[in-house]
A and B are shown apart, each in its own frame.
Chain A
Amino acid sequence: MTVLIADDETIVRLALKRALSVLNCTIIEASNGEEAVEKWNQSNPALVFLDVLMPGLTGPQVLSEIGQNNAKIILMSAYTGEYDMEKARSLGANLFIAKPFEDIFSIVEKAKELLHESR
């Protein structure tokens, strides 16, 4: 199973990658919107962590580029004002997580739940 992590902050990708290693999946990283679209199309991930504010294409723009897909999508953002669960759902995402993450492990749990849903 493949998981795609799209975020422009290196250490955020690293932290997520290390934390998600318990899932025993292949982790693919993208550091901006265009790269995210490219790698998404290439690897057909089951789960995508998508940052909202990225240089170039933003998270929501990536979603509209990709269109119909099979992935579970977790949208992440530091700006909690504009984005919340509702907005995320309306964009086609499954979950919205606000940055900063309080506890990385609870995020891993949520990711697990999402992945089990699709089975």
Chain B
Amino acid sequence: MEDQKYLANIIGRPLSILLSIPLFSENGDYVIYIENQLSDEELAEFFAFMGDRISSLEMTLDRIVLDQEINSASYMWESTFDGIDSPVAIVDKEYNIYRKNKFFNANSKTCFQALGDETSKCNGCPLDQAYKTKKPASNKIEVNEKKYIVHTYPFSDASQSKQLFVNLYTDITKSENLHGQIIQNEKMSAVGNLADHIAHELNNPLTGIRSLAQVLISEQEEGQLKEDLIEIEKATERSQLIINNLIEFSKAGISHKAETIDLAELVAKTIPFLKSVMGQFERNIELAEGVKIKIDPQLGQQVIFNLINNACQSMGDSGILTLQVYSNQNIACFKVKDTGAGIPTKNLKSIFEPFFTTKKEGEGTGLGLSVCKNIITTYGGKIEVASQVGNGTEFTIQMPMVSE
């Protein structure tokens, strides 16, 4: 009824003023203040009358206060959850997400989908274990090119009917990579010591070969045999150069000698050493003059030698060897290209690692390219490879160019 709308009509007179009170109070006590002109008898009657009606009002007020408290608590919980600087999610045993924070893709149903668009649970997920043992579990997973440690904490939902899990993910990608790098550095110093050892071992037979060659040369008449022996002696001299470089390399880093040299000249100086391996291939050599870099010339030659040697070895009986020296803005470039077998994509990222080799035992140490890369990066440059199986390989070295 229309006249039921107004509190005054329901309660009835003799109320004359109804004050409005704010509904939020720190203390939680609510007061209805009624100004009246009743006598004592009438007041008692009035209180009885009001008492009946107040209780429902009280209940409503209590509920409003409770709602506010819940909202505020809920707000604090949500802020905490979202504010955690790692991915957090609440999932069930089928990996369905009940609640996730901002680190996950929106609109994803499962945790593995949300974390990295995966279609099934991540390798190493500890959820199963937590489910079976009903105890927290953790394990390492790798998803979307990142590595995490997942801590999963089982709990039951409020109704005790559902098994849920809180998954906390700690991103360990960086620290793992750092760890990997430390291992790599240790490997490099192991290589250093090994290199030192091998180098000195190699010097033994080499010195014998060279000395014997020198003796034989001195005994020969001019002729083919003498010329061949001279080549042998030169080869041992080159070998000793390489070994010396290896020893230098092994002494905790590379010799930091550097000279300004003309790149084309350095390449030209190295080519004669490769006469025999380069022999039967078609050559495409373009060495621009005036491209200068700063490097230890011996080490530079070692790199050049290594790349050309590799290129020739990959080509078998025939092929085209391309050598280029050129400059690109302020960058000195040296390119070695072959038409050999090419490098499979899966190996490409490993070829600069020490000891990585696809050659048979005894045919290669797997040190060549890693030493080259080390030398080039020490002098501020970089070395890159492009290759396709069946189409050949191209190595490009870029170094800072020295201006006149």
Contact surface of A with B, Cβ cutoff 8 Å = 8-16, 18-19, 78-79, 99-101, 103-105, 107
Contact = CB atoms under 8 A, between A and B. Distances in A.
A100 B214 contact: no
19 contacts: A9-B205, A14-B212, A15-B207, A15-B209, A15-B210, A15-B211, A15-B212, A18-B215, A78-B201, A78-B207, A100-B203, A100-B207, A101-B211, A104-B210, A104-B212, A104-B214, A104-B215, A105-B214, A105-B218
A12 B211 CA distance: 8
Nearest to B212: A15
Contacts of A9: 204-205, 208
B200 interface: yes
B215 A11 contact: no
Contact of B211 (A10, A78, A79, A104): A104
Interface in B184-219: 200-201, 203-212, 214-216, 218
B200 A12 contact: no
A103 B233 CA distance: 11
Given A78-B200, A79-B200, A100-B240, A12 B207 contact: yes
A47 B232 CA distance: 30
Given A100-B240, A105-B218, A18 B206 contact: no
A15 B200 contact: no
Contact of A19 (B206, B209, B211): B211
A11 B205 contact: yes
A25 to B, nearest CB: 16
A21 to B, nearest CB: 9
A78 B204 CA distance: 7
B215 A100 contact: no
Interface of B: 200-201, 203-212, 214-216, 218, 240
Closest 4 CB pairs of A and B: A11-B208, A15-B211, A100-B207, A104-B211
Contacts of A10: 208
A30 B45 CA distance: 131
Nearest to B204: A9
B319 to A, nearest CB: 35
Nearest to A108: B215
Contacts of B240: 100
A10 B208 CA distance: 8
Contacts of B207: 12, 15, 78, 99-101
Contacts of B201: 78
Given A11-B208, A12-B208, A78-B207, 19 more contacts: A10-B208, A11-B205, A12-B204, A12-B205, A12-B207, A15-B207, A15-B210, A16-B211, A18-B215, A18-B216, A19-B211, A19-B214, A78-B204, A79-B200, A100-B203, A100-B206, A100-B240, A101-B211, A104-B210
B176 to A, nearest CB: 38
A37 B177 CA distance: 55
Contacts of A79: 200
Contacts of B218: 105
A99 B205 CA distance: 10
A57 B208 CA distance: 21
Contacts of B208: 9-15
A74 B218 CA distance: 24
Nearest to A9: B204
A114 B210 CA distance: 23
A18 B210 CA distance: 12
A11 B202 CA distance: 12
| B205, B208, B209, B218 — most chain A CB neighbours (10 Å) | B208
Contacts of B216: 18
A103 B214 CA distance: 8
B203 A99 contact: yes
B233 to A, nearest CB: 10
Nearest to B199: A78
A8 B206 CA distance: 13
| B203, B207, B212 — most chain A CB neighbours (10 Å) | B207
A23 to B, nearest CB: 13
B210 A101 contact: yes
Contacts of B210: 15, 100-101, 104
A101 B204 CA distance: 10
A18 B215 CA distance: 7
Contacts of A18: 212, 215-216
A104 B211 CA distance: 5
A77 to B, nearest CB: 9
B152 to A, nearest CB: 56
A99 B203 CA distance: 7
| B203, B211, B215 — most chain A CB neighbours (10 Å) | B211
